[in-house]
A = this chain, B = another copy of it.
Amino acid sequence: MREKGLKNIRLLIQYDGTDYAGWQRQRNLPTIQGVLEDAIRKITGEDIHIHGAGRTDAGVHAIAQVANFYTKSALTPHELKRAINAHLPEDIVIAAAEEVPPEFHARKDAKRKVYLYVILHRDFPSPIWRRYSWWVRWSLDIDLMKKASDLLRGTHDFSSFTNTGRSSLSTVRTIYRAELIQKKSGFLLFEIEADGFLKQMVRVIVGTLVEVGRGRMDIDRFSLLLRKKERRLAGPTAPARGLFLKEVKY
């Protein structure tokens, strides 16, 4: 990988995931990684491969996905950014590009990730936010949801909060921050920061918090989920459209 003259380029990427089958390249399906690699290959003429910090699922968005790739291109990072953007569709954008040390790896070096989940809580949906939020019209006990969020902090086995297809051996993760913020506009913003996330973990957590808010699950049972390891005890998976990869920390 580290041939002489190869530069390691780190990208900061934003995307609207609505029309994609997720980050990871798949044969015959539009994916973020696939579209990005095709765009970069057109520019550099190399058979490049990009490493993303997180494999977002189908329909999930990113405000700040991080990825890196190696190239022999003579273009500066700024020129690469401009050129790649010119080859991308409107729903994927390079926000920044910079050269980094050869050993930097977007996925392996990621220390923490921050996800944002947007719930629109009111009695009619939003035409503007329809692709970027989960419209919930049930009445919700927000204070109870906040109490449940608080319980997430710390190191737990999150087996109850993940869907099958687990990609890692350990199901233990450390949550540094989990907050639910109520905006007067009807938006409920859930932000969660951890050393890593299991498959669909944020969406199962949000789906379960809404069960708590609706009064269909009490705080004790929510707390129990963090000790039990049974997915069937948790709530439904919240829709992908409300989820944003907000930050990757190194």
A→B interface (CB under 8 Å)? 14-16, 61, 63, 81, 85, 90-96, 124-128, 130, 132
**Residue with the greatest number of chain B CB neighbours at <10 A, chosen from A92, A95, A127:** A127
Complex Cα–Cα for A155 and B125 (A)? 38
Copies per complex of this chain = 2
Chain B residues contacting A96 (CB-CB under 8 Å) are 124
11 contacts between A and B (CB under 8 A): A14-B124, A14-B127, A15-B127, A16-B127, A63-B128, A81-B124, A90-B125, A90-B130, A93-B125, A93-B127, A94-B124
A130 with B91, Cβ < 8 A, contacts A85-B124, A124-B85 known: yes
Complex contact A128–B90 (CB within 8 A): no
- For the complex of A and B, 8 pairs with smallest distance between CB atoms: A16-B127, A91-B127, A93-B127, A95-B124, A15-B127, A90-B130, A14-B127, A93-B124
Starting from the known contacts A81-B124, A93-B126, A128-B132, 5 additional A-B residue pairs (CB-CB under 8 Å) come to A14-B127, A85-B124, A85-B125, A90-B125, A93-B125
